[in-house]
Amino acid sequence: MHIVVCIKQVPKTLDVRVDPVTHNLIRQGMESIINMFDENALEEALLLREKFGGKVSVISMGPPQVREALRKALAMGADEAYLLCDRALGGADVLATAYTLAQGIKKLQPVDLILCGRHAVDADTGQVGPELAERLGWPQVTLVKRLECDGNKITAWRECEEGTAVWELPLPAVVTVGKEINKPRYPTPIGIIRSGKKPITVWEAKDLDVDEDKIGLAGSPTRVTRLFSPERTSHVEMLTGKAEEVARLLVAKLEEHKIQL
Amino acid sequence: MHDIWVVTELVGKDLAPVSLQLLGQARQLADQTGDKVIAVAMGHEIMPMAQELIEHGADEVLVADHPELTYYRTLPYARILGELIQEKKPNVVLMGATSQGRDLAPRVAARIQTGLTADCLELSINKDGLLVQTKPSYGDNVMVDIVIPEHRPQMATVRPNVFPQPERICGRKGKVTSVPVSLQPDDLKTVVKEIIAEEQQASRLEEADVVVCGGRGMGSKENFEQLYALADALGGVVGATRPPADEGWIDPAFQIGQSGKMVAPKLFIACGVSGAVQFTVGMEKSKIVVAINKDASAPIFNFATYGIVGDTREIIPALLQEITTAKESKTGSRKECN
Ligand SMILES: Cc1cc2nc3c(=O)[nH]c(=O)nc-3n(C[C@H](O)[C@H](O)[C@H](O)COP(=O)(O)OP(=O)(O)OC[C@H]3O[C@@H](n4cnc5c(N)ncnc54)[C@H](O)[C@@H]3O)c2cc1C
Ligand SMILES: Nc1ncnc2c1ncn2[C@@H]1O[C@H](COP(=O)(O)O)[C@@H](O)[C@H]1O
């Protein structure tokens, strides 16, 4: 079984602010980590490999420093790592990212299963997995909290408004997972040493069969027009009075904040 | 064509609240520009829903009714919606940021090759007539405005409960169009084996818009019942600090904090919680925090937007009463038409 895990590198702390003058993001420290849910995706892939054999490849699109995240994935136990890295890929939104990843993954065929995180904690869209599935023409299941596989088909317990929906679908498929699905392992010292010998293959745009209009900024239909920090009340406002009075005051405040009652 | 489409969904047999909320917002936007609001309803035996959608603001309802659409599955729904969009070319397509919308919207956006903004909190029209989609990122620390200048339709998913439910206008007139359903064998590869209904689920805790959290100060398992009533009234989920989880007042899966779940809802209500750091790391990203504690010097007040010094056994029932009153007086509450 060949499983591909899509990994995104994200900032370690989400405590970012927008500079009111320059409108640029101010990040407290620039440390990066693997998007939490992508570690769950990798763990699930490693568990499936333990059961069925085969190989786990990790792939990421991003700047050169993403090697660090890929290195960690190799240390956790992935067999091969691929980085799609090129200035021409910069500025990609979901549509362009999913297209580029799909073109990269096509070079890794045959692939039986693609695992993604349910969403990336920085941009927070959760759209790359389904858009990738569409590009490949494969079935998908998202927001998965439990997965079973018999080698040909998967059974997935997915979150839905009623509770849980149990879906069965044939491979190949794209699955996005949440953190209930497993507890990601830590890299072992042996794993870290071994990972040093595993190569990270870097592909530039010219190495991929990509259409120039479909990658990077040119291939991205969405445009960010403004970036700002939401207003926050930093000091507590005490509501005083008898129980009925404070209840009334509070409900009025909640309505001001557009909380649906 | 400048139509605004709302792709509606069902929860069980009822229209999802977010679908009605979106119809209300779409109506407002369409009235500014003189455009039409079209609801898309997919499912089985859903014709009776059409009039309800019209009475909540739709000018036309496109109904795709077929036994294969009984339960949501990506591919049949994407087939129908994708083909309808290609045929009728709406300007805007909106969906709820629900488990269904988050699955379906990107599949369709990639099929049509257009832009999609996830999890919007605000929608408006700018001077160029473009839909401005405001979404949070970095765990709600930053807000971004996004437009889709050239591709059509402009697609967005919108978080539940950011727009009020519109008033239902009984007898409002609109057009109901039944659309043909033709599916390909490949669309039916996925089989829905089972839907397991769960009332309160721990996995929902992390996404809930409202979290009602009880601490040791709630005093007993019986008193926790009040929290469930409050959570129900607000459409939220109950969580807890560690002591109630240790005491067996609640399943430990609902514990919030360093050794529990991380939550960041729009509204977090802490009842009888002291505010230890191991707890607050799990909730400090919440937008509005209400703290109810009888000790005015409890650290939780430092994390609160609104603080109430008092006994939870008095405050919570009063709050429940007040919410019920507010709901009843609200025009947006669900109304029956005959
Ligand atoms: C390694 C480690 C990990 C931990 N992880 C977690 C974690 O993940 N989550 C977590 O929650 N804790 C965690 N803890 C425990 C944490 O330190 C606190 O002990 C715990 O959060 C306290 O819970 P509490 O606020 O409910 O209880 P208390 O600290 O006992 O506070 C109860 C509060 O209720 C108020 N009160 C009492 N009666 C009433 C009433 N009738 N009306 C109104 N107010 C009333 C009191 O004034 C008091 O402030 C951890 C601790 C350690 C050491
Ligand atoms: N640049 C990227 N490279 C590789 N995988 C990605 C990338 N962006 C997103 N993904 C995958 O898609 C998931 C959802 O991301 P998003 O749609 O950005 O929220 C992530 O958890 C990753 O598995």
Give B84-100 pLDDT, tens digit per residue.
999 999 999 999 998 99
Percent of chain A at pLDDT exceeding 90:
79
What's the ipTM?
0.82
Query: Is there a contact between A255 and B288 if contact means CB atoms under 8 Å apart?
Result: no
CA–chain centroid gap for B322, Å, is 23
Within-domain flag for B138 = yes
CB of B100 sitting under 6 A from ligand 1: no
- Atom nearest to B255 CA in ligand 1: 9
Query: Is there a contact between B302 and A229 if contact means CB atoms under 8 Å apart?
Result: no
pLDDT-based confidence at A25, cuts 50/70/90? confident
Q: Do B152 and B60 fall within a single domain?
A: yes
CB of B217 sitting under 6 A from ligand 1: yes
CB atoms near residue B13 (< 10 Å) = 10
Q: Do B173 and B248 fall within a single domain?
A: no
pLDDT-based confidence at A214, cuts 50/70/90? very high
For chain A, give me the number of helices (H) and strands (E)?
6, 15
Query: Is there a contact between A236 and B117 if contact means CB atoms under 8 Å apart?
Result: no
- Residue A65 sits in a domain whose CATH number is 3.40.50.620
Q: Which residue, B138, B157, B188, sits at the end of a domain?
A: B188
Query: How far is residue A41's CA from residue A174's CA, in Å, rounded to a whole number?
Result: 11
Output phi, psi for A126, to 5 deg: 70, 20
Helix (H) or strand (E) holding A193, with range, is helix A189-195
Model confidence pLDDT, tens digit, residues A100-122: 999 999 999 999 999 999 999 88
CB of B220 sitting under 6 A from ligand 1: no
Within-domain flag for B337 = no
Within-domain flag for B197 = no
Q: Which residue, B188, B221, B251, sits at the end of a domain?
A: B188
For chain B, give me the number of helices (H) and strands (E)?
9, 18
Beta-strand ranges (E) seen in A153-216 are 153-160, 163-170, 173-177, 200-203
Within-domain flag for B128 = yes
Query: Given this model, what pLDDT does residue B199 score?
Result: 63
Structure tokens at A7: 């990994």
- Atom nearest to A124 CA in ligand 2: 19
- For B311, the domain range is 203-332
Ligand 1 pocket, mutate which of B222, B278, B292 (most atoms under 8 A from CB): B278
- Across B64-70, average pLDDT: 97
Higher pLDDT, B72 or A161: B72
Q: Is the pLDDT of residue B262 over 80?
A: no
Lowest mean pLDDT among A20-24, B121-125, B297-301: A20-24
- For A7, the domain range is 2-214
Q: Do B108 and B232 fall within a single domain?
A: no
- Residue B253 sits in a domain whose CATH number is 3.40.50.1220
Strands of the sheet with B154-158, listed across from one edge: B116-120, B154-158, B92-96, B4-7, B37-43, B60-65, B175-178
Q: Is the pLDDT of residue B165 over 90?
A: no
Contact residues on chain B for A228, CB-CB shorter than 8 A: 142-144
* Structure letter (DSSP) for residue A29: -
Mean pLDDT of chain A, nearest integer:
92
Model confidence pLDDT, tens digit, residues B239-259: 999 999 989 999 877 989 876
**Closest by alpha carbon to B77, among B52, B39, B118, B107?**
B107
Q: Is the pLDDT of residue B42 over 90?
A: yes
Within-domain flag for B282 = yes
- CA-based torsion, B112, B113, B119, B122: positive or negative: negative
Q: Do B60 and B149 fall within a single domain?
A: yes
The alpha carbon of B287 and the centre of ligand 2 are apart by a number of angstroms equal to 26
Ligand 1 pocket, mutate which of B226, B293, B300 (most atoms under 8 A from CB): B293
A34, A9 Cβ separation under 8 angstroms: yes
Q: Do B33 and B179 fall within a single domain?
A: yes
Query: Given this model, what pLDDT does residue B200 score?
Result: 59
Ligand 2 first shell, C-beta below 6 A:
A 6-8, 35, 37-38, 41, 60-62, 94, 97, 101, 116-117, 119-120, 123, 125-129
Lowest mean pLDDT among A105-119, A226-240, B16-30, B186-200: A226-240
Within-domain flag for A245 = no
A9, A60 Cβ separation under 8 angstroms: yes
Query: Given this model, what pLDDT does residue B184 score?
Result: 95
Q: Does A26 touch chain B (CB under 8 A)?
A: no
Q: What angle do CA B312, B315, B319 make, to 5 degrees?
A: 130
Within-domain flag for A256 = no
The alpha carbon of B79 and the centre of ligand 1 are apart by a number of angstroms equal to 51
Query: Given this model, what pLDDT does residue B327 score?
Result: 84
Query: Given this model, what pLDDT does residue A159 score?
Result: 87
Within-domain flag for B196 = no
Query: Given this model, what pLDDT does residue B19 score?
Result: 95
- Residue B114 sits in a domain whose CATH number is 3.40.50.620
| Total domains, chain B | 2
Within-domain flag for A45 = yes
- Across A144-169, average pLDDT: 94
Contact residues on chain A for B323, CB-CB shorter than 8 A: 251, 261
Within-domain flag for B218 = yes
Query: Is there a contact between B110 and A95 if contact means CB atoms under 8 Å apart?
Result: yes
Model confidence pLDDT, tens digit, residues B187-243: 999 999 999 987 656 667 877 889 999 999 999 999 999 999 999 999 999 999 999
Within-domain flag for A163 = yes
Query: Given this model, what pLDDT does residue A112 score?
Result: 98
Within-domain flag for B116 = yes
Query: Given this model, what pLDDT does residue A27 score?
Result: 66
Output phi, psi for B192, to 5 deg: -85, 110
Contact residues on chain A for B194, CB-CB shorter than 8 A: 165-166
Query: Given this model, what pLDDT does residue B330 score?
Result: 65
Q: Do B38 and B135 fall within a single domain?
A: yes
**Closest by alpha carbon to A141, among A163, A102, A120, A169?**
A169
Contact residues on chain A for B295, CB-CB shorter than 8 A: none
Q: Do B142 and B252 fall within a single domain?
A: no
Q: Do B273 and B161 fall within a single domain?
A: no
Model confidence pLDDT, tens digit, residues A243-254: 999 999 999 999
Q: Is the pLDDT of residue B185 over 70?
A: yes
Query: Given this model, what pLDDT does residue B332 score?
Result: 55
Query: How far is residue A145's CA from residue B249's CA, in Å, rounded to a whole number?
Result: 25
Q: Which residue, B160, B188, B216, sits at the end of a domain?
A: B188
Query: Given this model, what pLDDT does residue B203 score?
Result: 61
Higher pLDDT, B203 or A86: A86
Residue of B nearest to A134 (CA): B107
- Across A6-10, average pLDDT: 96
